[in-house]
Every structure is written in structure tokens, then in C-alpha cells.
């Protein structure tokens, strides 16, 4: 004789669908407060260091430990900018234009050169020593040649900026294209992927973290290259401002030009890092839950 099973109590669920819905934890994007807290956590140390350097600069000049014509005070430096904002803006824009154009050209040529070098070992063995040789030559030594060849226009400044920024781009791109896991390439070949599909789906995405690392270096080098080109022969730009101030022993204007040049390099670096954040949200360095080692 089969004993009937007891009927379920009214409180107990009879089907999974009748169970109360469990609260879903928000695992999506961090909130504005969390992003602000992360930004403060990343930024307070360099900001504190900059403030400490600024205070030390002010203390040294206020205590007259050095002569004003050698190191001007922060107040005199910012006053020089405030007295002629149009002058500094005009020359800053000239250097910015040269820097951006040189940076873009170096990026395009560097990426294309890296693709060719990776596809052909013969080309790589031929070009790599030449690239290394061109990199070790001081750009200030060959900049006068570009003035002779291209005149006193924008050409020499852009060429020097390209030469300064080109090497980090091509080296980082070559490294990225060669760092692809061989098992991934074998898997794609086994699944019948064409070379173009393998490149766009595996090789190129894997090379982007290395490429952006090189672009960050190239961004600051492009600013230096543009200013070096202006040192040789120019009638506009921050390099021209620095040379004129040095000849007139006008250290406040000289320090103002150096300060603006540094800010320009930092802004371009931050722009590249922002683009990296947009393009590579999947990379480990961009994940919010990545464990960072702090001192």
C-alpha cells in the first residue's frame, strides 16, 4: 500500500517561479561618486607633489636664496602670463598645432611601418637598424638641416616632432603585434579564419595596449620635438618665446614658456590616456576591480 505524501503547507513554495525574487546586486558601471573617489585616489599624490614643489619654489624665491634674475618667483611668472595673455596664447597655439600634426603623422607612419615589419622579417631586419640609428642622433643637431631643406615655415618643426614621436610608436606596435598568444593564432587557423579576420579579431586588439603605451611616450616627445624645431629657426611658438626671453634675460617670461610647454605635454598625455580608456575598457589595466599595488 502506497502512503500518499503530505500536501505542502501554504507557506512553502510549490514551483521555483513562485519563489520571491532575490535582490540583484548592481554590478554595472561605477557610480559618479565611486568614479570621483577613484580619481581622487589616483590624483592626490601627484597633486600633493606639485603643490610641494610650488611651495618650495615660492619659499626659495621669497627668502631670496637665489637672485631673481636666475629664478623668478611664482608671482612674477604668472604675472608675466597675465600681462600678455594674447602673446602667450598665439605662440602656444602655434606649438600645439605643430605638436598635434607631428603626433598624428608619427602615429600613422609608425603603425603602418610596424605592420610591414611584422609581415616581413626581411623588411624588419633592414629597417630596424636604420630606425635605431635615426633615434640615437640628437635632433637638435640635425634640425638645422631641415631648416635649410624646408625653410623657416612649419615644415622643419613638424618633421622634428615626427622624428621624436615616431620611434616609440613603431617599437610599441611591433612588440604588441608579436606578443599575441600563439595558441590563439593556431585556434583561429584551425577554425578556418582568414588572415584578415585573424588580424582584426586577434592580432590588432592584442597590440592596442602596447600601442597606447607608446603613444603616451610619443605625445610628450612630440611637444619636445616641436619646441626643438622652433629653437633652430622660427618666428612663433613656445620655443621662440623661450629663446627671446633667454636673450633678453627675462626669466619670468622664460619660466612662463617652460611652464606652458609642460602643461601642454601633460594635457596631450591625458588625452591619449582618455582615448585608451574609451578604446580599451576590457583591458586589465582599465578594470575598476583591478588590484593596484600602492606604497
pLDDT tens digits, 118-132? 888 888 888 888 888
Residue among 185, 190, 170, 188 at smallest CA distance from 118: 170
CATH for 265? 1.10.3720.10
Residue 26: what pLDDT? 46
Domain of residue 202, residue span: 80-282
Residue 271 lies in a domain: yes
Residue 162 lies in a domain: yes
Q: Please state, for a pLDDT cut of 90, what percent of the chain lies above it.
A: 40
Residue 199 lies in a domain: yes
Residue 1: what pLDDT? 43
Residue 21: what pLDDT? 46
SS3 content of the chain, % helix, strand, coil (to 5): 75, 0, 25
pLDDT tens digits, 93-113? 999 999 999 999 999 999 999
Residue 231 lies in a domain: yes
User: With 0-12 CB in 10 A as exposed, 13-18 as middle and 19+ as buried, what is 117?
Assistant: buried
Residue 233 lies in a domain: yes
Residue 288: what pLDDT? 45
Residue 221 lies in a domain: yes
Residue 247 lies in a domain: yes
Grid-cell match 561605477, residue found: 30
- CA–centroid distance for 204 within its chain: 19
Residues 6+ apart with CB under 8 A from 61: 68, 71, 72, 73, 74
CA distance 286 to 30: 13
pLDDT at position 283 over 80? no
- CA–centroid distance for 135 within its chain: 20
Residue 24 lies in a domain: no
DSSP 198-250: HIIIIIHHHHHHHHHHHHHHHHHHHHHHHHHHHHHS-SSSHHHHHHHHHHTT-
Q: How many domains does the chain have?
A: 1
Grid-cell match 576591480, residue found: 289
pLDDT tens digits, 144-203? 888 888 878 888 899 999 999 999 999 999 999 888 877 787 777 788 778 777 888 888
Phi–psi pair at 25, nearest 5 degrees: -75, 140
Query: Mean pLDDT, the chain, as a whole number?
Result: 82
Sign of the torsion angle spanned by Cα atoms 149, 155, 157, 161: negative
User: With 0-12 CB in 10 A as exposed, 13-18 as middle and 19+ as buried, what is 135?
Assistant: middle
pLDDT tens digits, 235-255? 889 999 999 999 888 999 999
Amino acid at each position: 500500500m502506497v502512503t500518499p505524501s503530505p500536501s505542502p503547507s501554504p507557506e512553502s513554495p510549490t514551483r521555483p517561479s513562485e519563489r520571491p525574487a532575490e535582490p540583484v546586486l548592481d554590478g554595472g558601471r561605477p557610480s559618479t561618486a565611486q568614479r570621483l573617489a577613484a580619481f581622487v585616489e589616483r590624483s592626490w599624490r601627484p597633486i600633493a607633489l606639485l603643490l610641494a614643489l610650488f611651495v618650495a619654489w615660492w619659499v626659495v624665491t621669497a627668502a631670496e636664496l637665489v637672485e631673481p634674475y636666475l629664478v623668478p618667483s611664482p608671482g612674477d611668472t604668472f604675472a608675466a602670463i597675465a600681462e600678455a595673455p594674447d602673446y602667450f596664447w598665439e605662440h602656444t597655439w602655434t606649438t600645439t598645432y605643430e605638436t598635434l600634426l607631428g603626433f598624428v603623422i608619427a602615429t600613422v607612419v609608425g603603425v603602418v611601418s610596424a605592420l610591414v615589419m611584422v609581415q616581413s622579417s626581411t623588411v624588419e631586419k633592414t629597417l630596424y637598424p636604420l630606425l635605431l640609428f635615426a633615434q640615437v642622433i640628437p635632433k637638435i643637431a640635425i634640425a638645422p638641416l631641415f631648416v635649410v631643406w624646408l625653410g623657416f615655415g612649419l615644415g622643419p618643426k613638424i618633421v622634428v616632432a615626427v622624428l621624436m614621436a615616431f620611434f616609440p610608436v613603431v617599437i610599441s606596435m611591433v612588440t604588441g603585434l608579436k606578443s599575441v598568444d600563439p595558441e590563439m593564432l593556431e585556434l583561429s587557423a584551425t577554425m578556418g579564419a582568414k588572415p584578415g579576420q585573424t588580424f582584426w579579431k586577434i592580432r590588432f586588439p592584442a597590440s592596442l595596449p602596447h600601442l597606447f603605451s607608446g603613444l603616451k611616450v610619443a605625445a610628450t616627445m612630440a611637444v619636445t620635438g616641436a619646441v626643438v624645431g622652433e629653437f633652430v629657426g622660427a618666428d612663433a611658438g613656445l620655443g621662440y618665446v623661450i629663446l627671446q626671453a633667454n636673450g633678453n634675460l627675462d626669466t619670468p617670461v622664460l619660466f612662463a614658456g617652460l611652464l606652458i610647454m609642460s602643461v601642454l605635454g601633460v594635457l596631450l598625455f591625458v588625452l591619449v590616456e582618455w582615448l585608451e580608456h574609451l578604446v580599451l575598457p576590457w583591458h586589465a589595466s582599465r578594470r575598476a576591480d583591478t588590484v593596484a599595488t600602492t606604497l
